[in-house]
Amino acid sequence: MGRWKAVYASWELDLRIARLRREETAALAQAGRKFRTASLEPGPAPSEPVAKALASVAALEEHSRALAERLASSLEADRSDYRATGSQIGRWLIVVRGILDRLVLRDETSIAKRRLPGRQSELGVRVVADAEALARLPAEDRSRWLETRTALDKAVAGRAALLAPYGGETLPAWLRGALGELRTFGAFLKDELTKKIYLRLPALAAMAAAWWVTERFASSRFEASLNHYTGLGRMGLPEGALGLLSFWLPLIVAALVAYALATVTKRVRRRYLGESAPAN
């Protein structure tokens, strides 16, 4: 029973360690932000590691400002071009160009905004490792990081001491082997589900939409009359309208499902894996 009590206690410590790591990351990001503000005031030159991290944060902030300026001026430029163009097609092209241009700018702005806390955390790591840079932080920010770091070290040391009699492993070797096999099977199952179902969901949705159209509507006048007077059979639609519905509805449904899947995947990866778009 002692082993399983240690397992349960180690799991509790794992949760606490994960929470403390998040708190430490937040404290480091705060330290990076405060040092960035302090660096704008006169003071001693930072060390090379701190200076490099500081330059990275400053470059990303400048990039974000440039994107904001481009976004603000994009609509005004489109208005100017729209007034100067006499062609109706040209005006519609300007509208489409502006919409796409601002979509790209907003996406780049969002990427820069998501990257900034990570770079601020990197700056915070360099700052707390440098005594002179750390001294330039406000006392409350130094205390916040130090308290979090101390609690994290204590939790990690406590977990190591708890599992020391068992070779530092939470579970017995036979159970670790069984769990490893289950993880392998789960990874295989996930891969198969992703290839066979997840990636084909847009196509499956389009097929379902096409089936719904054929089950719901018909171009036959007899069937339309039967449905009108008795409620039986399919509803009537002109042949042209039915053709348009059969073509466009599955296409739109597939596009919406693909967009929803891409959005959900991106948000899940951003939230749980910390992933973002690759740097240019």
pLDDT of residue 191: 77
Low-confidence winner among 98-102, 155-159, 237-241 (lowest mean pLDDT): 237-241
Tell me which residue has tokens 């295989």: 188
Q: Are 29 and 116 in contact (CB under 8 A)?
A: no
pLDDT grade for 91, boundaries at 50, 70 and 90: confident
Which residue, among 179, 60, 171, 195, has the nearest Cα to 120 in the 3D structure?
Answer: 60
Stated as kind and residue range, the H or E segment containing 236 is strand 235-236
Q: Does pLDDT of 274 surpass 60?
A: no
DSSP 175-221: HHHHHHHHHHHHHHHHHHHHHHTGGGHHHHHHHHHHHHHHHHEE--H
Start-to-end C-alpha separation, the chain: 55
Q: Are 33 and 121 in contact (CB under 8 A)?
A: no
Taking residues 46-58, report their average pLDDT: 91
The residues near 179 (Cβ < 8 Å, ≥ 6 apart) are: 171
Q: Does pLDDT of 132 surpass 80?
A: yes
Q: Does pLDDT of 123 surpass 80?
A: yes
Q: What is the pLDDT of residues 9-36, one digit of tens each?
A: 888 888 999 999 999 999 999 999 999 8
Over pLDDT 90: what percentage of the chain? Answer: 23
Q: Model's pTM, two decimal places?
A: 0.59
Amino acid identity of residue 55, one-letter, is A
Q: What is the pLDDT of residues 238-271, one digit of tens each?
A: 888 888 888 898 889 988 988 888 888 777 777 6
Low-confidence winner among 4-13, 64-73, 161-170, 191-200 (lowest mean pLDDT): 191-200
Residue 100 tokens, joined: 């796409």
Average pLDDT along the chain: 84
Taking residues 128-150, report their average pLDDT: 89
Q: Does pLDDT of 161 surpass 90?
A: no
